Amino acid sequence: MSLSISDIKRIATLARIEVSDAEAEVTLHKLSGILGLIEAMQAVDTTGIVPMSHSQDVTQRLRPDLVTKTDQRALFQSIAPAVEDGLYLVPKVIE
Amino acid sequence: MINNSLKQLGAMLASKQISSVEMTTEFLDRIDQHNPDINAYIALDRERTLAQAAAADARIAAGTAEPLTGIPIAQKDIFVAKGWQTTCGSKMLESFIGPYDAGVIERFDAAGAVNLGKTNMDEFAMGSSNETSYFGGVKNPWDRSRVPGGSSGGSAAAVAARLCAAATGTDTGGSIRQPASLCGFSGLKPTYGLVSRYGMIAFASSLDQAGPMAKSCEDMALMMNVMTGFDARDSTSLQRDKEDYTRGLPAMTGDKPLAGLRVGLPREFFADGLNAQVSSVVQAAIDEYRKLGAEIVAISLPNTRLSIPVYYVLAPAEASSNLSRYDGVRYGYRAPEYTDLMDMYCKSRAQGFGAEVKRRILIGTYVLSAGYYDAYYLKAQQIRRLIADDFAAAFTQCDVIMGPTAPGTAFRSGEKADDPVAMYLEDLYTIAVNLAGLPGMSIPAGFAEVEGKALPVGLQVIGNYFDEARMLDIGHAYQQVTDWHTRMPEGV
């Protein structure tokens, strides 16, 4: 599986990370090396093997539907990049 | 005092030989003296720390002290702590002040321990040398031209240079054990799910686990008593009865305290890629275990070599999802200039994340993208099961597994920084343990002579699920008959 510059640009857009043309070249080289390492997996026959995500046989817990969190808007907004009247500010998205 | 065990420090506090404020001040002064060079700490807050020490003194005076009350402990900067700068080693979170306490922080606070400061780490715990930190690399106290390992490199250097009584770390692929090996102290990654991940900034959620980093197994047992326990706020936290991890330690004396113990040596851990000096130090440690009564058996973990490719699919995939929260809207870094919302996201993330973090997000995004999921993520999860099955088979032949923690000793700063694949191979012997969710530990086993310097070597001990107490007993037995764990680097 070999990557191209246009793949890097597409992945970067999906990941919401700006990558300049110069950075894309370096990134292509490094990512290709990592994918080469990962490629070793393809030689393994995994037919019928159940994928594993947790080592223990656990199920998702449920909790009573009760209010457990208190309002901490002022505290949380004190570390926000831009707020006004209790709202988070972002560039205009609707004309 | 600085080389004393947690138990000894606790006894000094209990007998009023020293107050927590005095003890904490001594450590803070040592940090002031050595941190400008070693760079183990990112955030210090003398006032806040000493207020906690004063509260601990009041608690000791009132007779309600617990074993760690008043003892200064360093916290890896991955744990959110209320009122503390919490950066995770990233420019993205440089201005982030913790609005709440992580589960681990709460537990140490409740035990009366003193938070000495937040320790340096690879950015978002992605690295094996601490060189990806936005706040600069950390020097290995044994040879300051070398790295301390990573990602818990700041905690590692702080424990090794005695700039704290003990520290916390987190281990996703080896981030407690590899630095413990490279800096010559004891580190334990517990069974996945034993320690709360609440407020522990997420990297790869199915692998991340917090644990103790300390001078001895006895110290780690005391820390495990505080750190472990169910937390409803962590969806993968396990509901189990509380354990006393110190319960077996007193029996680890006498002639052959480990008689009947079967120690498995995986042949794959002693194959190509292992440094010869590391190999002989580890073999000598295993000989010591023979003398303690253990029986040594040969085992095989045939899929070991696949653990690195599997990890470098699963961990970046989970990271790309976890790190999507950093968008410059509600907290964290926002680029100073942008044209629209999309541009704000892309520029904030491009400027706020370092090169290794961006690489892993891109790899993760790629392996999860349309058309590739089955070939990468699903395949990796299937091989993950094969790796876990290898351990299950091995544990029918032995009680614990031993081998090297890392393939070599501490490497020079910059030596592998430009070659991600070479860096990833550092975790060859540790990653499979995370993939299987098993507990793993590194303890000091001796030194290798490298270019005129003595560099520490760690012995890795891997146990079955929930076998931490026995592993700590096994480590403690070794630390009763050896003194590697008491050695300190020069110049600190």
Averaged over B106-126, what is the pLDDT? 98
Taking CB atoms and an 8 Å limit, are B236 and A58 in contact across chains? yes
Q: What's the pLDDT at B420?
A: 86
Chain A residue with Cα closest to B86:
A79
Give catalytic residues of B, as residue numbers. Answer: 76, 151, 175
Statement: residue B246 has pLDDT above 70: yes
Interval B209-233: pLDDT, tens = 999 999 999 999 999 999 999 999 9
Q: Where are the alpha helices (DSSP H) in A1-95?
A: 5-14, 21-38, 73-77
Quote the distance between the C-alpha of residue B66 and its chain's center: 24
Q: Is the pLDDT of residue B306 over 80?
A: yes
Is-contact B184 B281, C-beta < 8 A?
no
Please indicate if any CB of chain A lies within 8 Å of the CB of B474.
no
User: Helices B6-14 and B46-61 meet at what angle, rounded to 10?
Assistant: 60
**A-chain residues within 8 Å CB-CB of B440?**
none
Whether residue A14 and residue B361 make contact (CB cut-off 8 A), yes or no, is no
Using the Cβ of B380 and the Cβ atoms of chain A, whether some distance falls under 8 Å is answered with yes
**pLDDT tens-digit series, residues B265-291:** 999 999 988 999 999 999 999 999 999
Q: Quote the longest CA-to-CA distance of chain A.
A: 58
Residue numbers in B near A47 (CB within 8 A): none
Would an 8 Å CB–CB cutoff place A19 in contact with chain B? Answer: yes
Answer whether B470's CB lies under 8 Å from B463's CB: yes
Q: What is the pLDDT of residues B6-56, one digit of tens each?
A: 999 999 999 999 999 999 999 999 999 999 999 999 999 999 999 999 999
Q: Judge whether B307 and B440 are in contact, CB under 8 Å.
A: no
Taking alpha carbons only, the member of B333, B458, B357, B327 closest to residue B132 is B357
Q: Which of B362, B433, B370, B366 is nearest to B404 (CA)?
A: B433
B347 touches chain A (CB under 8 A): yes
CATH architecture label of A5-43: Orthogonal Bundle (1.10)
Is the pLDDT higher at B370 or at B455? B455
Give the SS3 label for residue A5: helix
Q: SS3 of A52, please?
A: coil
Each residue's pLDDT tens digit, B85-96: 999 999 999 999
pLDDT at B311: 97
Compare CB distances from A63 to B232, B378, B438 and report the shortest one's residue.
B232
Q: What residue type is B329 in one-letter code?
A: V
End-to-end CA distance of chain B: 13
Q: Nearest Cβ partner of A91 from B95, B338, B436?
A: B338
A vs B: CB pairs below 8 A = 167
CA B492 – CA B484 distance, rounded (Å)? 17
Decide if B346 and A16 are in contact by the 8 Å CB cutoff: yes
Confidence label for B300 from pLDDT (cuts 50, 70 and 90): very high
Q: Do B310 and A63 touch (CB under 8 A)?
A: no
pLDDT value at residue A1: 56
* B380–A79 C-beta distance less than 8 A: no
Q: Which amino acid is at B331?
A: Y
List pLDDT tens digits, range B423-454. Answer: 888 899 999 999 999 999 999 999 999 999 99
Of A12, A51, A91, the CB nearest to B341: A91
Domain ranges of chain A: 5-43
The verdict on a CB contact (< 8 Å) between A53 and B192 is no
What is residue A88's DSSP assignment?
Answer: E
Q: pTM of the entire structure?
A: 0.97
Average predicted confidence (pLDDT) for chain B: 97
CB contact under 8 A, A17 and B379: no
Residue B75 has phi, psi (to 5 degrees) of -110, 130
Query: In which element (H, E) is residue A87 found?
Result: strand A87-88
pLDDT band at B320 (very low <50, low <70, confident <90, very high): very high
Q: Which residues of B touch A81 (CB under 8 A)?
A: 328-329, 331-334
Enumerate residues 6+ apart whose C-beta is below 8 A from B486.
Answer: B3, B215
User: Quick check: A18 contacting B, CB < 8 Å?
Assistant: yes
Residues of B in contact with A7 (CB under 8 A): 366
ipTM of the complex: 0.95
Q: What are the residue ranges in chain A where pLDDT is below 70?
A: 1
Cβ within 8 Å of B, A 36-55: 36-42, 44, 46, 49-55
Buried b (16+ CB within 10 A) or exposed e, B13-22: beeeebbbbe
- From residue B482, how far is each of B278, B450, B486 by CA, in Å? 17, 22, 9
Residues of A in contact with B347 (CB under 8 A): 18
In tens, the pLDDT along A24-45 reads 999 999 999 999 999 999 999 9
Residue of B305, B340, B346 with shortest CB distance to A18: B346
Residues B406-426 have a mean pLDDT of 92
Q: Cα(B61)–Cα(B68) distance, rounded to whole angstroms?
A: 14
Dihedral sign (CA B428, B431, B432, B433): positive
Residues of chain B with C-beta less than 8 angstroms from the C-beta of A91 = 338-341, 343-344
- The SS3 assignment for A84 reads strand
Give how far A88 is from chain B: nearest CA, Å: 7
Q: Tokens in use for B126?
A: 């992605």
